[in-house]
């Protein structure tokens, strides 16, 4: 029996040929039920997808908690209120993106299609860096 890391993964590199009498899967995966079609993938891939989803959720929770913390624990200046609002909104967007990404990846694994591209992952680091710079400026600048 081959070692688990030596198992073939070619089913992840391209579309699976359709069997006679079977229709092609939907182009867009269902948001809340990626299990509707396809076959059970290797559990390692499903569990890795789940771990990634949970990491995105932790990030969303941290962003939301940061926004709530700024709103609750600092003086209420317009800049700090704006920072708090943007952090909470970014947390919400990250949570929704995580759900969409998890669903699309799980669907792709089940129907043996290429994994979806990560679009939001390019935006999130810049958003967090920008918000961190703004938060630093708010800490350094005196409050009116």
Residue 24 · residue 124 · CB < 8 Å: no
Dihedral through CA 26, CA 28, CA 31, CA 36, nearest 10?
A: 20
Give the least confident one: 5-14, 60-69, 126-135: 5-14
DSSP state letters, 34-76: GGGSS----HHHHHHHHHHHHHHHHHHHHHHHHHHHHHHHS--
> Distance (Å, rounded) from C-alpha 12 to C-alpha 38?
13
Q: Tens digits of per-residue pLDDT, 54-71?
A: 999 999 999 999 999 999
- Does 8 map to a domain? no
- Give the chain's domain count: 1
Q: Which domain holds residue 128?
A: 39-140
pTM of the model: 0.71
Q: Tens digits of per-residue pLDDT, 68-109?
A: 999 998 888 888 899 999 999 999 999 999 999 999 999 999
- Does 30 map to a domain? no
């Amino acid at each position: 029996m081959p070692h688990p890391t030596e198992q073939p993964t070619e089913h992840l590199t391209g579309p699976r040929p359709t069997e006679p009498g079977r229709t092609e899967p939907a182009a867009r995966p269902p948001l809340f039920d990626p299990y509707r079609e396809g076959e059970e993938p290797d559990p390692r891939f499903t569990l890795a997808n789940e771990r990634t989803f949970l990491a995105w959720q932790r990030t969303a929770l941290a962003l939301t908690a940061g926004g709530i913390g700024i709103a609750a624990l600092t003086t209420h200046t317009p800049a700090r209120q704006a920072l708090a609002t943007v952090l909470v909104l970014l947390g919400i967007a990250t949570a929704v993106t995580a759900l969409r990404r998890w669903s699309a990846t799980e669907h792709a694994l089940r129907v043996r299609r290429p994994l979806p591209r990560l679009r939001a992952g390019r935006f999130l680091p810049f958003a967090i860096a920008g918000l961190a710079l703004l938060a630093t400026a708010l800490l350094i600048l005196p409050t009116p």
